[in-house]
Amino acid sequence: MKKRVLIWLAGIFLCCAIILGTSQELITSPMGLYDAAPPRTELPGWAALVDQPVPIRGRAPLMRCEASLIIDNLSNQILYTQNALEKRSIASLTKLLTSLVFVESGVDLSTVVEVTKEDAFESSRSKLRPGDKLSLRDFLYAALVSSDNRAARILARSAGMPKQTFVARMNDRAHALGMDSTHFVEPTGLSQENVSNARDCALLLNTVLKNPLLRQVASTPETTVQCVNRRRLYHLVNTNRLLRGGFQFVGSKTGYIDAAGWCIAARSAAQDGHDVTVVVLGAPSNTNRFRALSNALTWAYGLPLLAGSGS
């Protein structure tokens, strides 16, 4: 009898050990089980050279901001760098990774979700009201086009995992992309503890824009979404006002809180073949943010095309 009990206890102990070891490596998602720590992706050549001096061709662009980076995606080279490794708060640039992790979770974008009072907490500038019901696709547009914080919270809580797990997944994904100076504590960018640098933000933007859906959303100048339970239409205008100017954008995202200053990450491709990613962090005003971006693109477009492997 004692021998049977010992065998039974040994079996329970073995099963518990297997379950414990497995749970440390896997997380449940709508798509099933996936690795908690995604494998590291290969970094583009420019990413390892940000700390090295960059020879400026011609007169440098005027960039009134705390940190910036200009990359030529065609040649995979850095054109201009300014404090690009300095860790800073990045405000709503956070939503780029929130959207990427959300889309990669495999949630059905036609799913209708209701805005709750918790979603609306300390995000008064949103057009979305508690009780509104919209599709997750519309919330995705609201998060990236008009930088809606309530929409970003809804994406995070609708991805099929607890908030803490979603944020952990954001950090795992950032690490896998080589964003080693980046850390997130929540999905909107309202917290000053969401930190990164210009190099990591450029990596993030270029990765997000490889996703066809996110590329489409992040380059949308304006759109209209409709509540399914109320007679309300919400007109969403992209926070990148240069989208309605003379530049052609592959995608972009703005950000602002007091601790971060005025920020933007943008990728623009011209008909002559230029393909440039620009990151502006800590501009002193909204005007200076867009002036820095415009100056960067105008300057980069004026340079001869460089041959290379691209990104």
Kindly report the number of other CB atoms within 10 A of residue 100's CB atom: 20
Please name the residue ranges forming H helices in 50-93. none
- Name which of 251, 243, 241, 254 is nearest 219 in CA terms: 251
Could you say which of 68, 75, 95, 219 is catalytic? 95
Could you say which of 75, 89, 92, 268 is catalytic? 92
Contact of 128 with 236, CB cutoff 8 Å: no
Give strand pairing partners of 135.
112
Q: Helix 149-157 crosses helix 136-145 at what angle (to 10 degrees)?
A: 140
Domain 62-301 has CATH 3.40.710.10: yes
Would residue 252 show up in a list of annotated catalytic residues for this protein? no
Proportion of the chain above pLDDT 90, given as a percent: 77
Contact of 41 with 177, CB cutoff 8 Å: yes
d(CA 246, CA 221): 13
d(CA 83, CA 116): 40
The two three-digit tokens of residue 243, written as one number: 């989208």
**pLDDT for the residue 178:** 97
Which sign does the torsion angle of CA 179, 182, 186, 191 carry?
negative
Could you say which of 29, 68, 146, 147 is catalytic? 147
The model scores a pTM over 0.75: yes
Contact of 225 with 141, CB cutoff 8 Å: yes
Would residue 95 show up in a list of annotated catalytic residues for this protein? yes
Q: How far is CA 234 from each of CA 20, 31, 102, 153, rounded to the nearest angstrom? A: 47, 31, 22, 18
Going residue by residue through the chain, which has 311 residues, state the pLDDT in tens, using 9 for 90 and above.
Answer: 444 544 454 454 444 443 343 333 333 334 333 445 678 888 999 999 999 988 888 889 999 999 999 999 999 999 999 999 999 999 999 999 999 999 999 999 999 999 999 999 987 789 999 999 999 999 999 999 999 999 999 999 999 999 999 999 999 999 999 999 999 999 999 999 999 999 999 999 999 999 999 999 999 999 999 999 999 999 999 999 999 888 999 999 999 999 999 999 999 998 888 999 999 999 999 999 999 999 999 999 999 887 664 55
Exposure b/e, 2-29, CB count within 10 A at least 16 = b: eeeeeeeeeeeeeeeeeeeeeeeeebeb
The two three-digit tokens of residue 30, written as one number: 């709508």
